[in-house]
């Protein structure tokens, strides 16, 4: 009723399953609120499977996932390309090379995300082109979030692949260093989803379109201090 005169108000709930999404959404939400200060936004962290369930059960208005969600009941749009990079601790021999070969990773102590993580799936898919499987890698630690990986790598416990967006601060501070891998460029598409079977509220509709607003053209490289 308050939205009838023209001002967009309400409570917008966004479910998110990706590391990159967790970094992007607060920044997008801050920008969106400058245009629509009457909208309260909640970001709900959950697994990728639960994003779809929350949308279908009307527990969330929008969802951010790393793969397009199929089915007639959900509508998706791509809005961000997440780049995944290999990081090593400062002073690691790999950081002094122009690029390492995929085979160099076979003996390196590797920190991996959990099996359901999009970063892990993207890495194993790329390594398959070089006939490298998970069993060939020296995985000594699995963790459930990028922040724990960044901490472990900075303490010189191993190397890992993470979202470049999540690693932005650590890379700028020099606590970890990017180590390019020859022939491998990892990226994944982030998608925003909503339930196509329900009538969208005005806040949801506004945010759905706002992610492609010209104001957000810098989103592929979001500098850490852009707010």
- Distance CA(160)–CA(116), nearest Å, equals 16
Mean pLDDT over each residue of the chain, to the nearest integer: 88
Residue 218 has a pLDDT of 58
- Residue range 82-187 forms a domain whose CATH class is alpha beta
Confirm whether 10-80+189-221 and 82-187 share one CATH topology: yes
Closest CA to 150 of 180, 113, 185: 113
Architecture of the domain delimited by 10-80+189-221? 3-Layer(aba) Sandwich (3.40)
pLDDT confidence tier of residue 19, bands split at 50, 70 and 90? confident
Q: Which two tokens stand for residue 6?
A: 């023209």
pLDDT confidence tier of residue 110, bands split at 50, 70 and 90? very high
H helix or E strand, kind and range, residue 188: strand 186-195
The residue ranges of every structural domain in the chain are 10-80+189-221, 82-187
Summarised one tens digit per residue, pLDDT across range 88-98 is: 999 999 998 99
- Distance CA(15)–CA(22), nearest Å, equals 10
Summarised one tens digit per residue, pLDDT across range 53-71 is: 999 999 999 999 887 776 7
Q: Which of 14-28, 119-133, 167-181 has the lowest mean pLDDT?
A: 14-28
Residue 22 has a pLDDT of 83
Nearest 10 degrees: Cα torsion 52, 53, 56, 57: -150
Residue 4 has a pLDDT of 53
Q: Which two tokens stand for residue 112?
A: 């991996």
Q: What is the mean pLDDT of residues 144-148?
A: 91
């Amino acid at each position: 009723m308050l939205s009838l005169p023209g001002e967009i108000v309400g409570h917008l709930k966004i479910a998110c399953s990706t590391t990159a999404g967790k970094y992007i959404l607060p920044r997008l939400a801050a920008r969106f609120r400058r245009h629509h200060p009457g909208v309260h936004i909640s970001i709900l962290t959950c697994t990728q499977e639960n994003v779809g369930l929350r949308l279908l059960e009307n527990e969330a208005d929008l969802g951010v996932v790393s793969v397009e969600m199929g089915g007639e009941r959900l509508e998706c749009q791509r809005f961000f390309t997440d780049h995944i990079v290999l990081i090593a601790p400062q002073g690691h021999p790999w950081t002094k090379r122009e690029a390492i070969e995929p085979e160099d990773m076979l003996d390196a102590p590797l920190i991996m995300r959990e099996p359901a993580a999009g970063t892990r799936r993207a890495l194993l898919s790329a390594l398959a082109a070089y006939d490298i499987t998970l069993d060939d890698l020296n995985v000594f630690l699995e963790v459930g979030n990028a922040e724990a990986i960044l901490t472990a790598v900075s303490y010189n416990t191993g190397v890992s692949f993470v979202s470049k967006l999540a690693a932005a601060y650590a890379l700028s501070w020099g606590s970890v260093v990017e180590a390019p891998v020859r022939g491998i460029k990892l990226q994944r598409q982030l998608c925003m989803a909503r339930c196509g079977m329900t009538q969208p509220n005005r806040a949801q509709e506004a945010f759905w379109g706002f992610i492609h607003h010209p104001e957000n053209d810098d989103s592929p490289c979001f500098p850490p201090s852009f707010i």
